Structure 1
Amino acid sequence: MTLRLARTSAEAYLYMELHPCERCGESDFEPVSAVVSVQGDLASRYTGACPSCGNEREFMFRIPERPLLVDPENPQFGADRPSELLDPGEWLWVADTIASGVPANPDGLSAEQRRDARVDLRGAAAAVGEVLKFIPPDADAVPFEAFDSDRGREVYQTEPGRFRRARLEAVAQTYRELAERFAT
């Protein structure tokens, strides 16, 4: 069994959130994690019961040789290589979902709410950055072959132009700039 690489724990948790319980569809899952050895590789093992139906769930991912230390104020999901867990359409869906939950204006927000919005927008920018990692150096867009999930293909087919390098770079930059509007 070849395990897929989870470049960070944030990426592993995001993957688990996007893969709900097979029995009842519940996406909430609070697993117990452990580091285990699988065929000579270190892996993270996440286990626990679905809070809705009790179905036992398990996820296992390879751990990178060099763990990426992530600043909680500046979310990152992985280093330079593309994700093995989420495809580019899923990453763009994640960015859209995160950004849509942020208030349009920082006025009237508490310091904590502003911080949360800033971190969320930085997370959305990081998710768009993950999409960019799927673009080959000599290309200007994500190739269709990179999409291997139903959700990812659906996002792509809805608007393929969103996966062009220039557009993705502009969106990521916009999210970063918006994040700074929420600085306290």
Structure 2
Amino acid sequence: MIEARTLAEAYLYLELTLPVGDDAVDYDRHTTLDRRDDEHYLLRFDGPYGDRHWNIEVTVPLASHRAADGPTLCYGSGRSRLLDAGQWYAIEDGYAGMARTGLTRLAHSGPDEATYLAVVAAWDAARAAADEIAKFLPPDAEEVPAEAFWTEHGRSVRAARPEAFRRDRLDTARNGYRRRLDEAQSRIAGTGAQRPGTPGPTPAGGPTDPVPVRVRSLAEAHVHLDLRPCGCGSAGFPRDRMTVLVDDPDRLLVRYAGPCDGCGAPRDVVFELPPAADRSDGPAYLFSGPADGPSEALDAADWLGVAEGYGALADALLAAVEADVSGDAEGRWRDPQERAAMVRLLAGAAAAVEEVLKFLPGQAPALPAAAFWTGPGRERYARQRDLFDRDRLTRWCAHRWRVLDEFTARYGR
């Protein structure tokens, strides 16, 4: 009988034991959890999947499960004997991706307690999986040894992402996950701790202006506000009243301030713009001018996330309208407001890819490490460096502009 350290590990083993396929696994219907005896649970999947019937059983000591209870997720004490290092990385990567997707949703849709709590849980699960990988590291080794990969799945992950199992990558990732969790838990507890990118507490000597964030347009300022939410997870607060603090030939300072839509905490962000910057307050088709250099406020991974978020939302809306046989796509996009909103999404996706490309020096084939200065940005660069290849980004940018051109050619702007 296979024994897991905790129920959390047992469920993961069950999910990873079934082969990857196109069909959804009906876990609710075919999974049971019972007391096997006075000392063990028995987790059983007994049902069909693919072209065969599966029966998978895992026991879990009650004492081990209780020992893992706590404020953060723990898959068990000691090193896993069920899942190898490659499988743990697949779990870490999956949960980190879920967390980033949730943050994108919060940035676009505003406060949503359920989504915020799901993001926190996903970061916690990614942190716990990274901790499991680190358990395979010998004390003085710089990377996880080959014997830590005993499944075909794990070995294939290692072959595809060898850098993921280096000590430096693991240290960076684990510290990053813990920082996110500490910030979230401190905010929830009302200690006043701030997430990166939000203004700090007011000093005892009196009010002070936050350090200005240098942006190239108000459109970029709005993206910065979207990607640096309040500690409660909400990016929303009243932005319709922008205050001009300084407006002279050398520089322009503007302030956005107001209570957070989610928790009511005060938000106060000051931006510094070039004197000739675009001052249109609201979404724009471009985030900077053709002659402007790369962003100083958002790194390349930030912009890649913006492009992915805008593009995924636009593509989903277009597909949903086209697939609705009872609807009228032509009529939907004849509505000026609906059409303008779609044009902004499509143009924003293309323009955000252009922002990533602005970090390319000269004729370099790929973005340099210096284009990533945030913790999440450096982690993504280490994990998915191939996404920042010049040829790939150039093709993707051309595709996004082509989708916009096809839309406007059919429906107009």
Q: Please say which structure displays the higher CA radius of gyration.
A: 2
1:27 and 1:4 map into 2 onto residues whose CA distance is 17
Higher normalized contact order (CA 8 Å, seq sep 6+, divided by chain length): 1
2:227 and 2:221 map into 1 onto residues whose CA distance is 10
For 2:346, the equivalent position in structure 1 comes to: 121
For 1:11, the equivalent position in structure 2 comes to: 220
Query: Among residues 36, 41, 48, which one is paired with 2:258 in the alignment?
Result: 48
CA pair 139-25 structure 1, distance change in 2 beyond 3 A? same
2:318 and 2:348 map into 1 onto residues whose CA distance is 16
1:58 corresponds to 2:268: yes
1:86 corresponds to 2:295: no
Q: Shift of the alpha carbon at 1:37?
A: 2.5
1:29 corresponds to 2:237: yes
1:140 and 1:69 map into 2 onto residues whose CA distance is 34
**Contact 1:118–1:180 (Cα < 8 Å) also in 2:** no
- Structure 2, unmatched stretches of 5+, are 1-209, 323-327
Which amino acid in 2 is paired with 1:177?
R
**Contact 2:217–2:288 (Cα < 8 Å) also in 1:** yes
- Structure 1, unmatched stretches of 5+, are none
- Select the structure that is richer in helix: 2
2:401 and 2:306 map into 1 onto residues whose CA distance is 16
For 1:179, the equivalent position in structure 2 comes to: 404
Query: Among residues 361, 366, 371, which one is paired with 1:136 in the alignment?
Result: 361
Q: Shift of the alpha carbon at 1:66?
A: 1.6
**Normalising to structure 2: TM-score of the pair?**
0.41
**Contact 1:17–1:29 (Cα < 8 Å) also in 2:** no
1:74 and 1:2 map into 2 onto residues whose CA distance is 25
**Contact 1:114–1:182 (Cα < 8 Å) also in 2:** no
**Contact 1:88–1:147 (Cα < 8 Å) also in 2:** yes
Q: Shift of the alpha carbon at 1:150?
A: 2.5
CA pair 154-44 structure 1, distance change in 2 beyond 3 A? same
**Contact 1:119–1:179 (Cα < 8 Å) also in 2:** no
CA pair 69-140 structure 1, distance change in 2 beyond 3 A? farther
**Normalising to structure 1: TM-score of the pair?**
0.86
Q: Shift of the alpha carbon at 1:136?
A: 0.6
**Contact 1:93–1:155 (Cα < 8 Å) also in 2:** no
Query: Among residues 310, 320, 330, which one is paired with 1:98 in the alignment?
Result: 310
Q: Shift of the alpha carbon at 1:115?
A: 4.2
Q: Shift of the alpha carbon at 1:178?
A: 1.1
